[in-house]
Amino acid sequence: MTKEIESGLVINLINLQNKIQKRVGGALSVHGIGLSDYLVLNQLYSAPSEKMRRSDLAERVGLSPSGVTRLLNPMQKIGLVEKEANPRDARISLVALSITGKKVYEEARVSFEHASATLLDPLGAEKRSTLSELLKVVLKV
């Protein structure tokens, strides 16, 4: 692959990321959350006992530990997440999904899934599957 093709591909992926953020973010805004908030709620919803260490959460959503703390503070203030002490280690705090956070996530998930389907619909099922497999290789999932 030539450098121009590789550079163009990366630019197209960045443009796709921007399009995802606008479309999906817009769909989530009716629930009072943004895309980063949704990603945090998604991780907590899927976690055992719906709680995680902040450091693990930061890694899973692609933020620094301080970045996830800045994101979590307003989420905690509006009742989407709760801070819990770790019974095994007082130095480590846990982030837990609140009852309100779980409800908001479940409602927002419908909007997220609809926006995702609408965004990728022009590809058709076979191309969506191929794109998914190619991204797994690049992301090493």
Could you give the number of structural domains in the chain?
1
β-pairing verdict for 81-85 and 93-97: antiparallel
Residue 17 sits in a domain of what CATH number?
Answer: 1.10.10.10
Amino acid at 46: S
Looking at the predicted structure, is the pLDDT value of residue 60 above 80? yes
Looking at the predicted structure, is the pLDDT value of residue 139 above 90? no
pLDDT digits (tens, 9 = 90+) for 79-133: 999 998 767 766 677 899 999 999 999 999 999 999 999 999 999 999 999 999 9
Q: Copy the structure tokens of residue 128.
A: 């969506």
What predicted TM-score, i.e. pTM, was given to this entire model? Answer: 0.87
- Domain of residue 60 covers 3-139
